[in-house]
């Protein structure tokens, strides 16, 4: 069984389409949330994911904010502006779909969340202090997370969790019963100084997780953002992966 693992698409249709075209054959799709926010194509992204067969799609903080389930207080000015624009642009069906998404799911040996297993919507797993308590917050061997927009491998060890950034294209071998938290990075707004769309391919049969990157037409996304009147710094950052 092979899973395409995507997260943090953020209304970037060009990046999502590039990932779907680049992905090797897979049996199912896992989306770890934040379908919308920041980007200019929220409806197209939601509709694309609604039509993907055999998918598990979670909600993230931007999805909840875009449908009014949470306020904008924790978002910065640009993010908040984009959320208002997204809320005004989303269709009724698309809002309903976002509102129906779970924030946590289990799939055989996988626990799936957007942020962290102890705080699925909001917590950022980007340092050992936040990660340490999290291995007690899920029971499966693996946990897949998004939210930080940075690919990450977190290994549970006796002396505490080990965090490291995987190289683009790296394949991590899952060993025995070792427990891991893995973040595939962001499809639509990478923040690790690499503008290419990031995603993962989890092969449950072989016990491998591949961290993949694919370039997409950033210019086209930027032009759409400009036409929509979205903040220009949100467009600029796409070109550098910030």
Q: Report how far Cα 210 is from the mean position of its chain's Cα atoms.
A: 15
Q: Are 17 and 216 in contact (CB under 8 A)?
A: yes
Whichever of 8 and 14 has its CB closer to Zn ion, that residue is 8
Q: Considering only residues 14, 30, 32, 34, which one is a binding residue for Zn ion as defined by CB under 5 A?
A: 34
- Contact flag: residue 192 with Zn ion (CB under 5 A): no
Of 21-29, 32-40, 104-112, 136-144, which part binds Zn ion (CB under 5 A)? 32-40
Whichever of 34 and 192 has its CB closer to Zn ion, that residue is 34
Instruction: Retrieve residue 95's tokens.
Output: 């809002």
Whichever of 34 and 210 has its CB closer to Zn ion, that residue is 34
Under DSSP, is residue 175 helix (H, G, I), strand (E, B) or coil?
Answer: coil
Q: Are 35 and 9 in contact (CB under 8 A)?
A: yes
- Contact flag: residue 123 with Zn ion (CB under 5 A): no
Under DSSP, is residue 238 helix (H, G, I), strand (E, B) or coil?
Answer: helix
| SS3 track for 84-142 | HHHHHHCCHHHHHHHHHCCCEEEECCEEEECCCCCCCCCCCCCCHHHHHHHHHHCCCCE
- Contact flag: residue 8 with Zn ion (CB under 5 A): yes
The CB-nearest residue to Zn ion is 34
Of 30-38, 47-55, 134-142, 216-224, which part binds Zn ion (CB under 5 A)? 30-38
Whichever of 30 and 204 has its CB closer to Zn ion, that residue is 30
Instruction: Retrieve residue 57's tokens.
Output: 């799609």
CB of 158 to Zn ion, least distance (A): 32
Question: Interface residues with Zn ion (CB under 5 A)?
Answer: 8, 34
């Amino acid at each position: 069984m092979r899973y395409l693992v995507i997260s943090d698409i953020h209304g970037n249709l060009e990046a999502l389409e590039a990932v779907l075209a680049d992905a090797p054959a897979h049996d199912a799709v896992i989306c770890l949330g934040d379908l919308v926010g920041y980007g200019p194509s929220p409806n197209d992204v939601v509709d694309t994911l609604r039509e993907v067969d055999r998918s598990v799609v979670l909600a993230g903080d931007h999805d909840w904010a875009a449908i009014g389930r949470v306020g904008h207080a924790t978002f910065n000015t640009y993010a908040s502006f984009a959320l208002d624009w997204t809320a005004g642009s989303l269709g009724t069906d698309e809002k309903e779909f976002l509102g129906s998404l779970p924030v946590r799911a289990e799939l055989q040996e996988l626990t799936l969340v957007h942020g962290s297993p102890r705080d699925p919507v909001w917590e950022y797993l980007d340092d050992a202090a936040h990660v340490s308590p999290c291995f007690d917050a899920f029971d499966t061997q693996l946990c897949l997370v998004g939210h930080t927009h940075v690919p990450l491998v977190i290994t549970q060890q006796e002396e505490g969790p080990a965090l490291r950034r995987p190289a683009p294209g790296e394949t991590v071998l899952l060993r025995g019963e070792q427990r891991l938290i893995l973040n595939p990075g962001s499809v639509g707004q990478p923040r690790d100084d690499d503008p290419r769309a990031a995603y993962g391919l989890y092969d449950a049969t072989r016990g491998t997780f591949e961290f993949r990157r694919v370039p997409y037409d950033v210019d086209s996304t930027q032009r759409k953002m400009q036409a929509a009147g979205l903040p220009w710094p949100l467009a600029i950052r796409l070109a550098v992966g910030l």
